[in-house]
């Protein structure tokens, strides 16, 4: 916990440098993979036609990465929970299933693409001239799709295992091999576009093999066995839900690329530029933009731990300072990029080969118009990541999708009807303006309200109470079943300590997080997938870890009663543990809520549904088990028999353990 507390006290600038620089370097190296082929192809005899072919193929490959990163990011989020619980077997099962699902998905993707190759390439903008080159390039790339999908997942797993340097080496190895082999294969051996594809897949396979070596022979927190690759539907669903935001983000890139390429091909064919020049230039522009945006993404991802911890600790001044510094960095990067794109576009364009005047004319227009408001695009992305970091998945989704899906896609389809191919170019800055207005409004409102309500971070005087060795009673309960009151009665009857709010006080004191934030963890308004995304956010992860460690520390001090917070799962390896689930009929619970809080029947029903859903979601996230399922508890009781009677049954049962 001491390392976490440094996030709440160390200078923000120093923390950002520490966390962001490695992220930026790693993402820039990753961007090289996407850009190096086009540099060498553009400078070869293939020219812009070769770049048009790779530009057509690239968004199709993103579909495979959307699935890979969905499973990978979700698996890493779930891994962090299991690692905190010292659940090595659980971690291994997650990794085994994530790799298995990736292999199966990659095989389906490969078969699908081989069967429908020509229709897919045509759909994404291939012309008669570029189609043969795109076929040659895509066919070779597909052979290594399994390795490329697995490589990205393995890199994330290795990082989550506590080996960020090795993870970076895995990525760097593939990029370096690609850079070295591209000129040899394209120019030296005169293999053309096939040479570029072969160089790419050799790099991908090398990264994949190094990653496989690590997880089987050098892993720190897990040991993979054949049994870990046995399909487990619950585990797969869990990490898939946690990775869904990554999938949506990647598929939005596919959607914008698909529509952009289709419109460029259609309206380009009716212009002086033809279909291939616009497609080739768009591919180059997007690859260059990827380099720029990866700097911002690295900066914000690096800032996530700082934002998440301080938000959970209710140190809102530090949250604001971190966000302010990150946004200043984002805007500076955007301004520098804008100056280059507007005033010196040839410096960038010529890196990818000097082409004919028509090509250069359109390329200049692409950089000067399409990327005119790149600073806005970067700011929207930064705001979206900020909202993810502070546990606001709805705001993150709105910020992210507004610019790309809601605005750019329809504008890209509509505007060319009035302005020809230039309409495609103008759709981006118009979408940027709308995107920044929406995302900026959400961010400003959130920023202004942050900390307006008086922050409550008062740590109760409660400390862990010494007790005698004996049974630890973990009580889970339905809302309105009086589980808290019953737990207190049990503790009084057995003369042992009782922990409910007291647990939160211990967690807050040890972690530095706000007691109020810990208390509110199960009352977040988001539901369904958004609820799962919230629980995988940085501040929620810190809170979950703090509560888990507090429960484990309390258990060391002897016999006690702990209510809620998935204590039955956290302490599952304790031989003196009694797991209790308290429920009651709806009518009884509605009556209880009226007595306790004055709720009318309608309000009580809503409260019961919301609370039980949140508790079930929290429990499932922590354990992977079903909340309230009989098999997961030693004793299940209907508290409608009365609090005293229920407490006596639990106490008598506990005496026999």
Q: Is 397 inside a domain boundary?
A: yes
Q: Is 22 inside a domain boundary?
A: no
Exposure class string for 128-161: b at 16+ Cβ within 10 A, else e: eebbebbbbbbebbbebbbbbbbbbbbbbbbbbb
Domain boundary among 422, 453, 484: 453
What φ, ψ does residue 473 adopt, rounded to 5°? -105, 115
Q: Do 93 and 125 have their domain in common?
A: yes
Q: Is 12 inside a domain boundary?
A: no
User: Which ranges of the chain have pLDDT less than 50?
Assistant: 1-2, 454-457, 459
Helix (H, G, I), strand (E, B) or coil at 657: coil
Domain boundary among 225, 242, 259: 242
Q: What is the DSSP letter of 86?
A: T
Which pLDDT does position 506 carry in this prediction? 84
Q: Do 311 and 446 have their domain in common?
A: yes
The per-residue pLDDT for range 432-472, each reduced to its tens digit, is 999 999 999 999 999 998 876 544 445 455 678 889 999 99
Q: Do 218 and 251 have their domain in common?
A: no
Which pLDDT does position 1 carry in this prediction? 46
Q: Do 571 and 524 have their domain in common?
A: yes
CATH number of the domain bearing residue 531: 3.40.50.300
SS (H, E, C) 245-288: HHHHHHHHHHHHHHHHHHHHHHHHHCCCCCCHHHHHHHHHHHHH
**CA–CA separation, 283 and 64 (whole Å):** 18
Q: Is 616 inside a domain boundary?
A: yes
Q: Is 317 inside a domain boundary?
A: yes
Tell me which residue of 363, 370, 374 sits closest to 338, measured CA to CA: 374
Domain boundary among 184, 209, 242: 242
Q: Do 358 and 393 have their domain in common?
A: yes
Which pLDDT does position 119 carry in this prediction? 94
The per-residue pLDDT for range 313-336, each reduced to its tens digit, is 888 999 999 999 999 999 999 999
Residue 514: give the domain boundaries: 472-655
Task: State the DSSP string of 208-228.
Answer: HHHHHHHHHHT-SS----GGG
Q: Do 507 and 589 have their domain in common?
A: yes
**Cβ neighbours of residue 236 under 8 Å, at least 6 residues apart?**
97, 101
Q: Do 232 and 255 have their domain in common?
A: no
Q: Is 226 inside a domain boundary?
A: yes
Structural domains counted in the chain = 3
Write down the pTM of the prediction.
Answer: 0.83
Q: Do 445 and 498 have their domain in common?
A: no
**CA–CA separation, 341 and 348 (whole Å):** 8
Which pLDDT does position 456 carry in this prediction? 47
Is there a contact between 575 and 627 (Cβ–Cβ < 8 Å)? no
**CA–CA separation, 652 and 76 (whole Å):** 42
Q: Do 509 and 642 have their domain in common?
A: yes
CA distances to 159, 231, 328, 564 from 235, in Å: 20, 8, 40, 23
Q: Do 601 and 564 have their domain in common?
A: yes
Q: Is 35 inside a domain boundary?
A: no
**CA–CA separation, 181 and 395 (whole Å):** 44
**CA–CA separation, 562 and 490 (whole Å):** 11
Q: Do 378 and 482 have their domain in common?
A: no
What φ, ψ does residue 582 adopt, rounded to 5°? -110, 125
Is there a contact between 393 and 526 (Cβ–Cβ < 8 Å)? yes
Q: Do 236 and 278 have their domain in common?
A: no
Q: Is 31 inside a domain boundary?
A: no
């Amino acid at each position: 916990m001491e390392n976490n507390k440094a996030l709440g006290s160390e200078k923000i600038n120093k923390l950002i440098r520490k966390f962001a620089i490695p992220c930026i370097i790693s993402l820039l190296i990753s961007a090289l993979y996407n850009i190096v082929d086009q540099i060498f192809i553009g400078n070869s005899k293939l020219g812009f036609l070769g770049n048009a072919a790779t530009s057509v193929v690239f968004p199709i490959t993103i579909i495979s990465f959307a699935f890979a990163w969905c499973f990978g990011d979700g698996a890493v989020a779930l891994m962090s929970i299991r690692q905190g619980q010292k659940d090595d077997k659980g971690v291994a099962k997650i990794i085994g299933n994530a790799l298995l699902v990736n292999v199966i998905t990659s095989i389906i993707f490969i078969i699908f693409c081989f069967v429908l190759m020509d229709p897919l390439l045509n759909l994404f903008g291939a012309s008669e001239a570029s189609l043969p080159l795109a076929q040659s390039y895509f066919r070779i790339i597909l052979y290594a799709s399994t390795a490329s999908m697995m490589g990205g997942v393995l890199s994330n797993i290795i990082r989550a295992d506590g080996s960020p340097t090795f993870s970076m080496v895995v990525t760097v190895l593939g990029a370096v091999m690609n850079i070295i082999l591209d000129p040899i294969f394209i120019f030296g051996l005169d293999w053309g576009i096939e040479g570029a594809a072969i160089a790419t897949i050799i790099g991908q396979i090398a990264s994949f093999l190094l990653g496989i070596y690590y997880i089987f022979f050098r892993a720190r927190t897990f040991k993979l066995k054949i049994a870990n690759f046995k399909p487990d539907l619950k585990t797969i669903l869990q990490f898939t839900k946690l990775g869904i935001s990554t999938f949506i983000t990647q598929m939005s890139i596919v959607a914008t690329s698909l529509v952009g390429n289709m419109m460029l091909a259609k309206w380009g064919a009716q212009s002086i530029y033809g279909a291939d020049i616009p497609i080739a230039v768009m591919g180059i522009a997007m690859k260059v933009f990827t380099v720029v945006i990866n700097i911002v993404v690295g900066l914000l991802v690096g800032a996530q731990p700082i934002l998440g911890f301080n938000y959970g600790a209710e140190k809102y001044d530090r949250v604001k300072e971190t966000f302010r510094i990150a946004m200043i960095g984002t805007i500076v990067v955007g301004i520098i990029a804008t100056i280059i794109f507007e005033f010196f576009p040839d410096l960038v364009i010529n890196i990818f080969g000097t082409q004919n005047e028509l090509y250069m004319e359109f390329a200049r227009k692409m950089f000067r118009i399409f990327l005119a408001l790149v600073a806005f695009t970067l700011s929207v992305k930064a705001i979206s990541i900020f909202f993810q970091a502070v546990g606001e998945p709805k705001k993150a989704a709105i910020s992210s999708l507004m610019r790309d899906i809601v605005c750019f896609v329809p504008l890209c389809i509509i505007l060319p009807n009035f302005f020809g191919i230039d309409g495609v170019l103008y759709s981006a800055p118009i979408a940027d303006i709308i995107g920044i207005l929406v995302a900026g409004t959400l961010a400003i409102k959130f920023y202004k309200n942050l900390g307006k309500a008086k922050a409550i971070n008062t740590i109760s005087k409660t400390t862990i109470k010494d007790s005698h060795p004996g049974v630890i009673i973990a009580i889970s309960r339905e809302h309105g079943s009086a589980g808290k009151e019953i737990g207190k009665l049990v503790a009084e009857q057995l003369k042992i300590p009782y922990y409910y709010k007291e647990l939160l006080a211990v967690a807050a004191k040890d972690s530095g997080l706000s007691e109020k934030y810990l208390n509110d963890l199960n009352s977040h308004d988001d539901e369904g997938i958004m609820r799962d995304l919230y629980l995988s956010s940085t501040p929620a992860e810190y809170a979950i870890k703090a509560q888990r460690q507090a429960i484990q520390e309390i258990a060391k001090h002897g016999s006690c009663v702990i209510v809620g917070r998935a204590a039955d799962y956290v302490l599952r390896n304790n031989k003196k543990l009694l797991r209790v689930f308290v429920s009651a009929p709806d009518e009884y619970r509605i009556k209880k809520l009226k007595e306790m809080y004055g709720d009318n029947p309608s309000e009580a029903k809503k409260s019961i549904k919301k609370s039980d859903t949140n508790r079930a979601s929290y429990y499932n996230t922590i354990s992977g088990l079903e909340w309230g399922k009989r098999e997961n508890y030693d004793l299940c009781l209907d508290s409608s028999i009365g609090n005293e009677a229920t407490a006596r049954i639990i106490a008598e049962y506990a005496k026999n353990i």
